[in-house]
Each structure stands twice: as C-alpha cells, then as structure tokens.
A and B are shown apart, each in its own frame.
Chain A
Amino acid sequence: MNSGTIARLAALLSALALHGCGAAFSMDLPRRFVALDEDEQELRGYAMRGTTADGVVLAVREVENEPEGDLVFYQEAITLEMRDRRGYALLDDAEIRAASGETGRLLRFGHDEEGEAYRYWMAIFVAGDRLFLVEAGGAETVFAPVESDVEAAIRTFRVR
C-alpha cells in the first residue's frame, strides 16, 4: 500500500466519520448551528437536525420514494398540504440545485404561530428510490438574519 492510497483511504474514512456512515446524504450546517444527537433525531423521523441558540432549526428527512413520485408530484403534494390544508402562505417556489447535481424545489412558506410570524422552508430532492426533504424554520425575527446562510447550506446538500 503506497502513500497515495493511504492518503485517499484516510480522506474517505474522515469523510465517513464526518457525515455519518449510514447517511445517504451530506449537508454542511451553517455557522451558528449545532447538530443535535442523531439517534434521538432518528427516532423523531429526522436524519439530521441542527439548531441555532435562538431557535432557527434546520433538518433533513430521508424517506422512501414509494410509491415512486417525481419532483413535480412531491412539490404539489407538499404545497397542497402546507398551503391549502394548513394555511401556510406560499411566499416563493423556486428551483434549487444540490451540490451533487440533483435539481430540487425550494418552497418558502410563512405562517403565524400564536400571532407571531414564522418562516418555514422546504427543499425537496428526489434521488431514485429516496426522497430528501430539507426543512428550515424559525420565528421571522431570528430566521431573517440567517436565511442566506440556510440557503447556502441547502446548496451544499449532496446525495451519496
């Protein structure tokens, strides 16, 4: 085993350690965010979740794409659920590209919770038999200052 091979192996192990061996994706958390305990989050349906000290939360759900739907299907399904059923305001719906090349949709919602305005974002990526949902949310007052960082983090999303 030469030195080049050892270096590549070390980099691979490092990457696996950094992103979690079982995860089918990776995403960088923005500055000011801390990652929450993975096992705990997995029990709650999240493959990854992080938060700022003042309550902006960024999370990833990884679900089985079964029955198989495409991006348009999930975009419509989630918009119906959030906007038409739960009364979230759809503020924007735009294309977003993952770092690994997949084209996704970024839906930006607004919603009042007990009279206070909140932001809620949902990025959707479909990769074969897997569906990845990146959620971000928080009170508008604390979300607005970090929203560009959150969007940048979503753009680092990579399907493995």
Chain B
Amino acid sequence: MRLFARWRRACARRRVSVGLAMAALVACSGCSSSAEYAATSSVAREESYGGEATAYAPAIDVADADGAPAAQYAQAPEPSPAAPPGGPSGGTPQTPRQATDAIDTSGPLLVYTANLGMSVYRVDEVRANVIAAIRELGGVLTVETGNQVTVRVPAARFDEALTRIQALGDVVSRHVQAQDVGEEFRDLTIRIETLEAMRRRVERLLDQAQNVQAALEVEQHLERIIMQLEQLKGRQRFLANQVMLSTITVTFQERQVEDIARGIFELPFDWIRQIGLTNLMRLR
C-alpha cells in the first residue's frame, strides 16, 4: 500500500502522458517477465549453489591428531570490531548492522569451524574454563549443555582459542575445517546489485503508472524483487557473520558403540572390557 500511495502521488503530479504510460506498462510487462525469470532463476541457482557449496567450496580439512595448527587457517581475517564479549545468556553473537562491510572480500573468505572431543574428567571445571578463555579472547558462548559447549570467537583469534582450549583437558579427537565461501559471497553481491538496479527501474515505472490496475501489477513485481533482495542480503549477512566469528564445539563424551565399531578395532581380550573404575570399585 505504501507503493500504491506513492503511485497516487505520482498520478497527482500528472507529469507523464498516456502514451508514455502505455509504453511504461509494456516495458513493465517485459520487466516483470525478466523479474520473474530472475527470481525463479536465482532461487534455483541458490539452491544448486547451496548444494554445490559443500561439494566444491574448498573445505580445507585440517584435522590432525597432534594438535599442530595447520597453515591453511593461520591466515585468518582480521578480527571484527563487532564481536563483543557476550553474556552468559547463550544468545547468538551480535552482528554488526553492516556485517558485510566489515570483511575484506578481495581474497578467500574462510569460515572456520572446529570440533574437539574431550575426555570426561572434571567436566564442569573444564567447561567453565573454556567459556572463560573464550570470553577473554572476545568470543561468546552460544550453546551450553551438560556434555557440550559451543563458542564463537573472532576469526583472527581462532588459532589462539584452539590452543588455549586444548590445554584445558585431554583432547581425544580434533577436527578443524576452513571453508571458502568467497565465491558464494561475491556471487550474492552481483545478484544484489542487479536486483537493486532492477528495483530502481521498476520504482520509476510505478511512478509513471496511469491507472490502478497497472500500478498494482507493477507493485506486485516490485514486492517480489524486494523479497528476493532481502533473502539474498540475509544470506550475505549470515556468511559475513560466519566469516568474522569462528565456531568451536567441545564435546565431553564417551564414544558410542556404533562409533567404536566404525573407528576402533576391538581386541579379542575379555579382560580389557573388565578393567576400569566400575569393576574395580564394585567390592560387594
């Protein structure tokens, strides 16, 4: 309705001729086709892109057992000024209003994630120390459960955060990944610019519409374009946030039976399954 009011104001000014209005509607109709096509095309493209992202984005798997940080994630981007130390509420970290402006898009845009498996020993103490260490580094707590804690830390301090967390307990498993989302980010930028230009053109057509039906048609196209723009911008903000803040998840857990069957060979010694605190401490 805001757009319609705008059209009514434009009509009141009567600055365009009927012929021009008709030409505009024809053009608008053409635009609408292309807008529809663009919308359909971009959605499909986004889906396939999203599907491809995990496949073709260079997921630099730097998992290693010794804990030596790999060079691939040593060149993390500069810390974001918008990564405030968070409260313990477990809310998601705040994103700057213009998160997409806070990152350098000229090079690879790497999203760093780490999953650490830690032994079950002094869990409460280790969990509290992990959270404290991350806050010292300007990170925030995002999830805390009995056996898991997930934190986010400015990307430039990811390496330091991992080192500090690993010193807090016995790390049984470690998986670190750096995923380049630069191509998707730049693609989004181009699509947003294209849609912005299209929006401006359609807005001009709305100004020129001479009757209610034509204005409503143009308005519908404009709404679709705006919706599409918001989706693309939302995705871009999400990627920017992922690039600026790395995610580290620490899990305190014995392996599940199915994991053992996949990952660890079981020795054929009955006694090895009888050792441990449970049997040792059972005296009766």
Contact = CB atoms under 8 A, between A and B. Distances in A.
Given A61-B271, A110-B121, A135-B275, A90 B264 contact: no
A90 B275 contact: no
Contact of A117 (B122, B170, B252): B122
Interface in B157-185: 169-170, 172-173
A95 interface: no
A81 B280 contact: no
B272 interface: yes
B123 to A, nearest CB: 5
B275 A82 contact: yes
B274 interface: yes
B78 interface: no
Interface string A105-143: 000011111010110101000000000010111100000
Given A77-B267, A85-B264, A112-B120, A135 B255 contact: no
Contact of B281 (A45, A110, A117, A138): A138
Nearest to A90: B170
B5 interface: no
B124 interface: yes
B27 interface: no
B121 A112 contact: yes
A51 interface: yes
B220 to A, nearest CB: 59
B187 interface: no
A136 B280 CA distance: 8
A44 B274 CA distance: 9
Contacts of A112: 120-123
A128 B193 CA distance: 77
Contacts of B273: 81
A61 B275 contact: yes
Nearest to B122: A117
B110 to A, nearest CB: 30
B276 A77 contact: no
A12 interface: no
B254 A87 contact: yes
A57 B283 CA distance: 9
Contacts of B254: 85-87
A136 B254 CA distance: 21
Interface string A31-54: 000001000000011000101000
Interface size band for B? 20 to 34
Nearest to A58: B280
A109 B121 CA distance: 9
A80 interface: yes
B271 A133 contact: yes
B256 to A, nearest CB: 10
B119 interface: yes
Interface string B247-284: 00000111100001000100101011111110111010
Contact of A57 (B119, B122, B275, B280): B280
B97 to A, nearest CB: 43
Nearest to B253: A87
A82 to B, nearest CB: 7
Contact of B275 (A36, A133, A138): A133
Given A61-B275, A81-B272, A135-B280, 10 more contacts: A77-B272, A78-B275, A81-B267, A87-B252, A87-B253, A90-B170, A111-B119, A117-B122, A133-B275, A136-B280
Interface of A: 36, 44-45, 49, 51, 55, 57, 59, 61, 63, 77-78, 80-91, 109-113, 115, 117-118, 120, 122, 133, 135-138
Interface of B: 118-124, 169-170, 172-173, 252-255, 260, 264, 267, 269, 271-277, 279-281, 283
